[in-house]
Structure 1
Amino acid sequence: MNSKLTLVVRILLGLILVVFGANKFFNFMPMPPMEGAPGEFMGALVKSGYMFPLIGFTEVVAGILLLINKWKGLALIFAAIISVNIVMFHLALAPAGIGLSAVVAVLNSILMYANWNKFKTLF
């Protein structure tokens, strides 16, 4: 795969993960109010006391690893776990926000395909 394309995709995914992960700690992009099942789900994650910080930490670590181009395999596995859960949340509970979650999943898929030699032993 084109190395310039993978560089752009890697940096873009890394930035998205770092920004949205850091937002879970510093709340510089306030979350819009959610009602019903999405609000209850997010409220439960926040009330657990550990889940939001764990998700944010995982996003930041994966994003930084992608940005500095170290341990890409580990970073992409972390990002895959995150992106699958984001997509499932939006498919099941908040379909209006599926756009960014689909972008994250596609970027992650492109990078996993480009680095398939690191993952083929898993399958």
Structure 2
Amino acid sequence: MNSTFTKIIRFLLAIILILIGLNKFFQFIPAPEIPEDASEFMGSLKATGYVLPVLGVVEIFIGLLLLFNKWVAFAVIALVPISLNVLLYHLFLDIPHIGIAALVAVINFILLYKLWPKYKPLFN
């Protein structure tokens, strides 16, 4: 798990998650034009008043864990439902902007694969 490749992708994933999480609070990355269905879905999430801020906090927390190399196995497995849902959102509602979502999902699953021996006891 401590190969140079793994360190680089863990660091890259950490930076992406921290930036995306912080953007939910400070909106420093301009939002692209999205299709009407995607806009309605995002509007519904914003209307709850809590989903996007909680997601932002979780993304920042997971990013910090990865950045500081703490509880990495926990962080990687906690990110699976988030990365999968974001990927599915883009596949079904906003395919033109799938790039970062696909990158996060791929890195997440690479790290999951690299850490698989730590998860094996969960499936015995």
TM-score normalised over the length of structure 2 = 0.93
Flag structure 1 segments of 5+ consecutive residues without an equivalent.
none
Equivalent residues in 2 for 1:28-39, closer than 5 Å: 28-39=28-39
- The reply to whether residue 13 of structure 1 matches residue 9 of structure 2 is no
- 1:86 corresponds to: 86
Flag structure 2 segments of 5+ consecutive residues without an equivalent.
none
- What is the CA RMSD across the aligned residues, in angstroms? 1.3
Q: Deviations over 1:18-62 (max 9, x none)?
A: 000110011111212434110000001111000000110110000
- 1:71 corresponds to: 71
**Contact 2:80–2:108 (8 Å) recurs in 1:** yes
- 1:56 corresponds to: 56
- 2:122 corresponds to: 122
**Contact 2:34–2:94 (8 Å) recurs in 1:** no
- 1:111 corresponds to: 111
TM-score normalised over the length of structure 1 = 0.93
4+ runs of 1 displaced by more than 6 Å? none
Q: How many residues get paired?
A: 123
- 1:22 corresponds to: 22
Query: How high is the sequence identity, in percent, across the aligned residues?
Result: 46
Distance between the aligned counterparts of 1:116 and 1:15, measured in 2? 23
